[in-house]
Every structure is written in C-alpha cells, then in structure tokens.
Amino acid sequence: MSEPLLHSCAPRLFYIRTFGCQMNEYDSLQVLRQFTALGYAPVEDMGRADVIFLNTCSVRGKAEQKVHSFLGSLRRLKEAKPYLKIIAGGCVAQQLGRKLLDRFDHLDMVVGTRAVNSIGRLLQQLEETGARGVFLEDEGHIGLGFQCGEILPQKGITAPLTIMQGCNNHCAYCIVPSVRGAERSRRPEEILEEIGLLERSGVREVLLLGQNVNSYGRGLEEKIDFSGLLRRIVAETGLSRIRFTTSHPKDLTEDLMDCFAELGPLCKYLHLPVQAGSDRVLARMNRRYTAAAYLEKVDRLRRLCPEIALSSDVIVGFPGESEEDFRKTMELIEEVRFDNLFSFRYSDRPGTRATAFEDKVEAQTAAGRLAELQGRQAEISLGKNLAEVDATREVLVEGPSKASNGQMTGRTSQNKIVNFDGPLSATGKILRVRISVAYSHSLKGEPL
C-alpha cells in the first residue's frame, strides 16, 4: 500500500507540465478534466503538488532531451516528498514505456498516448496500491474523456478539440505513426456534443486537431469527410470561429478548399506543411506530392479566398539534402511568401526510416541553411505584417495581453495577434480594430 494521504480533508493538488504540440495540450486538458472530476485541484506551483503529470513530446530530439532533463530534476522533489506521485504521459511515454520507468526510479507511472483516456482510473489505482506501472494499451476509441455535463469552465474563449488521432502516412522522419498509432476518427455526434459543452462554458472559437485532419472520416461507419464535418459544425453550432490543424497537402481536396470561400466561421488561415521545396527530398521524405502540386494548391486557395493567410513547416538538412535542394526550398518560400513559417533542423528520431539514411548533412551546413531560411522568412513575415497597417480587421478578443502591460490581445481570422488598449469586458467579443503598428510576430491596433 502507498503512504496514507496527507491532509485528507484538503483536496490533493496536481500539476501538469506539457511539452510539444497542440495535440498534447488537448490531452493535458483531458487529464485536467479527469483529475478534477476525482476531486483533485490544479496548482500552478509544482512544489505544492501531490501529483505531477508530465506530458512528453518526442517529435524532435531537442524536445525529448528537455523531457529527460525535467524528469531527472524531479528526483529531489520526490526525495523531499515521498508521497508525491509522478506520472509520465505523451509520446516519449508511449515510445519508451518500461525503459522510461526503469531509467527513472522516482517515476511512478508511465501512461502512453493511447491510454490517456483511462488516466483518472489509473491515478486512483496508483493512489490505492502505490504500485508502479506502465500502461500503453490502445482502447481504439477517442472518447470525450469526461462525463457530459462535467466539463470544466474554460479559462479562455478558444479551446482545442481533437477530432482524430494517429496517422497512416509514414513520413520518413516522423515518429508519430509509431507512437500515436493508425488513424482513428471520432464520430461527428461526439464532436458536436463536445462543442456544445464548450459553447455553454463560454468558448467562441474551436481549434480542431488531428495529425492529418484532411483524412478525417476514413473508417467511420457514417460516410463523412473533413469538409462534411466542417459544414455540419457550421450548420449545427453557434461557434464564431473554427480553425484546424494539421493538413497534409496531398489530402487537401478541392471541396475542402471551397470551404474557405463558403463557410463564414471558418478562419481564413491554413497551416499547410510543405517540409521541402525539392522533389527529390520530398520523395525521400515520403511526402507523396511535388513542389509544383503544392504550389498549384496554394494558387487555387488564393484564387478562392484572396484574404487567406498561410503558414508552413520546413525541415532543413534532411539526409541527402544538397545545396541545390536547399535552394529549391528557398525558391519555394520566396514564391509562396508564407505569413509564418516553423522551420527546424533535421534530427534523427529512433524508429524512423530516415535514421537509417547514411548521407546525413553536416551539422554546421544544416545550421547555416536554417539561419539563412529563418532570416529570409523573418523579412517576409514582417513585410506581410507591414501590409496590414491601416487595414481594419475583426479581432476575437482573448483577454489581457501577457506581453504588454494593460493591453488586451486577440487574433484576426488570419491568425495574426493584435494587441490594443481596451477594457477587460471586451474579452470574448469580436471587435473591429484598425491596425496601426506592425512587428515581426504581432500587430498593434486601435479598436473602432
């Protein structure tokens, strides 16, 4: 048996640390809901927690190193508070399983991404028995993760919502299919029900999440694809705004592109990861589109919806990337002029095909290419933001700005952050704001 619970009349406190992507943030929300339903209370000071849940990310080497060093740093806390329970979830947990438990003897439990729906039950079990364990089972269903009617009031007016998990694509550099498993979509009714609950708790904007939302619906009994789901959400809910991520370019259908022109609440913003501008590199990455096919889709999107903003991901220094290949990536970003770009240096992820490729790019060369790409993109992003000055944009106000004292912050439909002077009571409203100043990553404006 574990040690008796201390302070039995006060609620036990839990702390969640999330590494990585928005999918992980959504999973952390599910953990928060389940722990709260058990009577635990969230705490922002990790030192006061009785339970620590660490949601890990293994998508890049750097992120995984951070997880390992954070886990190591918890040893002293556990020595000072032996009753503290430490749980590791997320992709590193799914991937390493027992190895993680063996490596960190102060870790109590490892819960993989496919077992996160059972986290409440597993915590209870841990509290009752004190037995360390590894739980990675695939329950084959992405449930709501909480009882209907028990949803917590949302902190913000925007909320993430996972509509599918897993991926069938097997890009050569990506660990996701092996840790998140094959694609599974949630039923539309379940998604609509969760949106209803979110709306009742004050949410006005939902971010639909999936590793590849464009393949939503495959395998469901009901015949529905992602554009069909978007149309149902617009018809059956009162959401002011809908966003989604991530989209695989090869699965971006004409019907889905039409949605940007047709559906008012669908934000005019698309994150469409290109990864490289060279067809040779794209083929080795197993992306299954060419640069020309990508550019054609961008062209069609802009014809259908001229105000659309685009962002993308690029991996620099993929094995075998020559100087000529890299120049093609630079040409592509010059041609598209993305509003925003997330760029990374390739790193080996154990268990992926690219790890076995022998023609690795020298670290210094890859770092130089990344710096060049990021430098140029910073100029393009600033130029795009400068073009916003004097325009009037509708801004969904999210609340006080963390960066600038006394200011409020919100986003345009194009996902641009706008800070402005305004009252707290504007939170949750859509205001018309005239843009007055542009920075690289945000805008400043005056409400009209």
Alpha carbon distances (Å) from 97 to 78, 93, 100, 300: 20, 5, 6, 45
Smaller CB separation from ligand SF4, 167 or 252: 167
Shortest Cβ distance from residue 182 to ligand SF4 (Å)?
Answer: 11
d(CA 86, CA 396): 38
- 252 near ligand SF4, rule: CB under 6 A: no
- 176 near ligand SF4, rule: CB under 6 A: yes
Burial class (CB in 10 A: 0-12, 13-18, 19+), 106: middle
Shortest Cβ distance from residue 251 to ligand SF4 (Å)?
Answer: 9
Q: Which of 67, 91, 167, 229 binds ligand SF4 (CB under 6 A)?
A: 167
Q: Which stretch binds ligand SF4 (CB under 6 A): 101-109, 168-176, 262-270, 334-342?
A: 168-176
- Residues of the chain by 3-state class (helix, strand, coil), percent to 5: 40, 20, 40
d(CA 71, CA 61): 16
Q: Which of 22, 118, 169, 440 binds ligand SF4 (CB under 6 A)?
A: 169
Smaller CB separation from ligand SF4, 55 or 240: 55
Three-state DSSP at 275 gives strand
Alpha carbon distances (Å) from 272 to 29, 165, 216, 246: 25, 18, 16, 7
Give all strands (DSSP E) within 25-90, no chain letters. Answer: 41-42, 51-56, 85-89
Smaller CB separation from ligand SF4, 155 or 170: 170
Smaller CB separation from ligand SF4, 332 or 408: 332
Alpha carbon distances (Å) from 56 to 15, 227, 264, 354: 14, 31, 36, 22
Q: Which stretch binds ligand SF4 (CB under 6 A): 8-16, 144-152, 163-171, 314-322?
A: 163-171
Which neighbouring-strand residues pair with 311? Answer: 271, 340
If we measure between CA atoms, which residue out of 411, 410, 414, 422 comes closest to residue 447? 422
Smaller CB separation from ligand SF4, 160 or 177: 177
- 184 near ligand SF4, rule: CB under 6 A: no
Shortest Cβ distance from residue 354 to ligand SF4 (Å)?
Answer: 11
If we measure between CA atoms, which residue out of 317, 312, 315, 303 comes closest to residue 333? 312
Tell me if 194 sits within 8 A of 161, measured CB to CB: yes
Shortest Cβ distance from residue 349 to ligand SF4 (Å)?
Answer: 10
Smaller CB separation from ligand SF4, 169 or 407: 169
- Which tokens sit at 165? 């998990």
Burial class (CB in 10 A: 0-12, 13-18, 19+), 359: exposed
- 170 near ligand SF4, rule: CB under 6 A: yes
Q: Which of 20, 160, 177, 422 binds ligand SF4 (CB under 6 A)?
A: 177
Smaller CB separation from ligand SF4, 172 or 389: 172
- Which tokens sit at 177? 């299919």
**DSSP characters for 72-138?**
HHTHHHHHH-TT-EEEEEHHHHHHHTHHHHHH-TT--EEE-GGGGGGHHHHHHHHHHH---EEE---
Shortest Cβ distance from residue 4 to ligand SF4 (Å)?
Answer: 44
Range 198-227, binding ligand SF4 (CB under 6 A): 211-212
Smaller CB separation from ligand SF4, 286 or 404: 286
d(CA 414, CA 271): 11
Shortest Cβ distance from residue 165 to ligand SF4 (Å)?
Answer: 10
Shortest Cβ distance from residue 23 to ligand SF4 (Å)?
Answer: 10
Q: Which of 171, 256, 298, 316 binds ligand SF4 (CB under 6 A)?
A: 171
Instruction: Spell out, one character per residue from 313 to 352, where the chain touches ligand SF4: x when CB under 6 A holds, - when not.
Output: ----------------------------------------
Q: Which stretch binds ligand SF4 (CB under 6 A): 118-126, 172-180, 221-229, 256-264?
A: 172-180
Q: Which stretch binds ligand SF4 (CB under 6 A): 36-44, 127-135, 154-162, 174-182?
A: 174-182
d(CA 398, CA 417): 10
Return residues touching ligand SF4 (CB under 6 A). Answer: 167, 169-171, 174, 176-177, 211-212, 248
